[in-house]
Copies of this chain bind each other. A is one copy, B any other.
């Protein structure tokens, strides 16, 4: 056994022991050390870099590590094998998450407006914004030697008499509180109840003079980011909000890698723990602390996430999702309560899960479609959720069809050499001068923040601008020369956005032909999905009345550029609407409104699913889309190259 030490920027050390030949990334995972590994550890993404600072390790040089980096001690954890005692420095992804939380959902005015609009739209569609939870005051007779009815019967009988409810039940937790609360409050109490038809279920009991707020929690569980809203279930008011990186990320950036990880011994528990104990529970604590709320006063929760996310959250086996015939454990479930999975809210809180409609179209999409209002218009709309997976829904008030494509991690900066998530130091918007070929960009972060890498919206802009200025050709190859354009010894071209001295990092921030190729395949997946789905319905892009673009990735997106690179169809730009994190708004709607919840179930039940891989023309379409903007430029009449 050899000693393995992980060192962090924070100064903290974590030490463990490992056997000769063990994989360093595996050792890190077993020790709960978070190393960023979007590809799941198969040496394809190059993100799991660690720096050797002591001892020895066997680790071949890969294409992701330059000579200079290798000399400095940088190694890929996923290809490193233990050969002796070793100490490595681990770049801290936790701190990246912390910065990312600055760009949490509903933190900007624009996002709040989008959210409020969704609420208004729902209500305008005739869906009542009200739910079955309530607080009632119950005044009982005070017991005496002549009236010795036990506490539980006293409460149940009084409520039945007050309300006419034929059946009133309570939880064990309520039973336990009766004796002290009744006696503190002289048998006049407040009950948190939920009505199901005529019946009443008691969730909690409080003394008569306590201030009672029924808390509810809406959570969007993204593959990359988790966002949550803490609300008042009686008024709908947002009491708290939080976002954080999904703690599962160290087991892989995409759903497939996480499913594979979950099928290893103990894997399902590890992944469940990563999202609940390391991600959602700390967010709950943070929101509660900030708003002076108690987690146990959260009595209902709604979770929206893709099918893999809600299966891993609930500890279900993932393999049947990824293997033919692609069968999830559930689309919809009523069997889930907080105590089942250790969520730090009231242990009897019912957990509503936004319904899945297939293995690759999940609750994030059904919740998103609910607030997109697609189902409430005679005109045909297209809903696009740009996440690690791309999901599309097309339809109107008569029908809806969905499909999913694997865009890969490119939109979130994965698979891109200088790619990064939309956090401090990311270039999120860019223009390039036609003559000088000099870039102008906007970097996320405080004034003076230097660029460190490129996030999704920045990549779209850079590629669109490189193409517009003729620096690259439709295949993404470099065809102009200049000070910012370089070719390596194999002839691979790249464009330098920031030289080392301009950058906030120790190397140039650049984009190369491999990156561009990866991104072209990602946008090609989206556009070919649009084309294939419309074709299967005998529709043409002109018949799309509106496009609703959702997803965390989309917040900085430039629609003009997205069309120019052939990611979205070339229709009038005013038809595109960015609707923010629609999964989170949808979870909010389902949590707060019983009618919205039922509406979402019926939408899901009526939505058809198109398995793209089963459509014979899909692969050809995809290949044709892997150009800027497309092999068939007639599809993009407005995008004539200058």
Which B residues are CB-close (under 8 A) to A1?
A: none
The residue from B178, B180, B327, B356 contacting A143, defined by CB atoms under 8 A apart? B327
* Dominant secondary structure at the A interface: loop
Q: How far is the CB of A301 from chain B (nearest CB, A)?
A: 14
Q: Let me know if B614 and A145 touch, CB within 8 A.
A: yes
Q: How far is the CB of A141 from chain B (nearest CB, A)?
A: 12
Complex: chain B residue closest to A154, CB-CB: B327
- Interface residue? A330 (CB, 8 A): yes
- Interface residue? A317 (CB, 8 A): yes
Complex: chain B residue closest to A324, CB-CB: B145
Q: Give the complex CA separation of A173 and B315 in angstroms.
A: 10
Which B residues are CB-close (under 8 A) to A150?
A: 327-331, 356
Which B residues are CB-close (under 8 A) to A315?
A: 176
Which B residues are CB-close (under 8 A) to A149?
A: 327
One of A81-89, A218-226, A275-283, A333-341 at the interface: A333-341
Known: A169-B334, A314-B172, A337-B172. A325 touches B179 (CB 8 A): no
Most buried by B among A152, A329, A358, A359: A329
Q: Let me know if B325 and A171 touch, CB within 8 A.
A: no
Which B residues are CB-close (under 8 A) to A169?
A: 334-335
Q: Let me know if A314 and B180 touch, CB within 8 A.
A: no
- Interface residue? A60 (CB, 8 A): no
Q: Give the complex CA separation of A150 and B175 in angstroms.
A: 36
Q: Give the complex CA separation of A423 and B356 in angstroms.
A: 62
Q: Give the complex CA separation of A41 and B337 in angstroms.
A: 43
Which B residues are CB-close (under 8 A) to A341?
A: 172
Q: Let me know if A175 and B145 touch, CB within 8 A.
A: no
Q: Give the complex CA separation of A319 and B315 in angstroms.
A: 42
Tell me which residues from 162 to 186 in chain A have a Cβ below 8 Å from any Cβ of chain B. 169-176, 178-180, 183
- For A359-393 the 0/1 string (1 means CB < 8 A from B) is 10000000000000000000000000000000000
Q: Give the complex CA separation of A171 and B337 in angstroms.
A: 10
Which B residues are CB-close (under 8 A) to A183?
A: 320
Q: Let me know if A143 and B330 touch, CB within 8 A.
A: no
The residue from B144, B175, B325, B330 contacting A329, defined by CB atoms under 8 A apart? B175
Q: Let me know if A171 and B327 touch, CB within 8 A.
A: no
Complex: chain B residue closest to A341, CB-CB: B172
The residue from B317, B319, B329, B358 contacting A152, defined by CB atoms under 8 A apart? B329
Q: Let me know if B143 and A329 touch, CB within 8 A.
A: no
Q: Give the complex CA separation of A564 and B149 in angstroms.
A: 40
Known: A172-B340, A327-B143, A614-B145. A333 touches B152 (CB 8 A): yes
Q: Let me know if B175 and A335 touch, CB within 8 A.
A: yes
Known: A169-B334, A180-B317. A325 touches B175 (CB 8 A): no
Total interface residues in chain A, CB < 8 Å? 50
Which B residues are CB-close (under 8 A) to A340?
A: 172-173
Q: How far is the CB of A178 from chain B (nearest CB, A)?
A: 5
- Interface residue? A8 (CB, 8 A): no
Q: Give the complex CA separation of A440 and B153 in angstroms.
A: 54
Which B residues are CB-close (under 8 A) to A148?
A: 325-327, 358-359
- Interface residue? A316 (CB, 8 A): yes
- Interface residue? A151 (CB, 8 A): yes
Q: Give the complex CA separation of A505 and B359 in angstroms.
A: 74
Q: Give the complex CA separation of A128 and B218 in angstroms.
A: 49
Q: Give the complex CA separation of A314 and B143 in angstroms.
A: 22
Q: Give the complex CA separation of A145 and B358 in angstroms.
A: 11
Q: Let me know if B179 and A320 touch, CB within 8 A.
A: yes
Q: Give the complex CA separation of A328 and B175 in angstroms.
A: 11
Q: How far is the CB of A3 from chain B (nearest CB, A)?
A: 33
Q: Let me know if A316 and B175 touch, CB within 8 A.
A: yes
Tell me which residues from 304 to 361 in chain A have a Cβ below 8 Å from any Cβ of chain B. 314-317, 319-320, 324-337, 339-341, 356, 358-359
The residue from B145, B329, B614 contacting A178, defined by CB atoms under 8 A apart? B329
Instruction: List residues of chain A with CB under 8 Å of any chain B CB.
Output: 143-145, 147-153, 169-176, 178-180, 183, 314-317, 319-320, 324-337, 339-341, 356, 358-359, 611, 614
Going nearest first, the 4 A-B pairs with the smallest beta carbon separation are A179-B317, A172-B340, A152-B330, A151-B329
Q: Give 7 A-B pairs besides A145-B611, A145-B614 with Cβ atoms closer than 8 angstroms.
A: A150-B327, A151-B329, A151-B330, A152-B330, A153-B330, A172-B337, A175-B330
Give 19 A-B contacts (CB < 8 Å), ordered by A residue: A145-B326, A148-B327, A148-B359, A149-B327, A150-B327, A150-B330, A150-B356, A151-B328, A153-B332, A171-B335, A175-B335, A176-B314, A176-B315, A178-B329, A179-B317, A179-B319, A179-B320, A179-B329, A180-B317
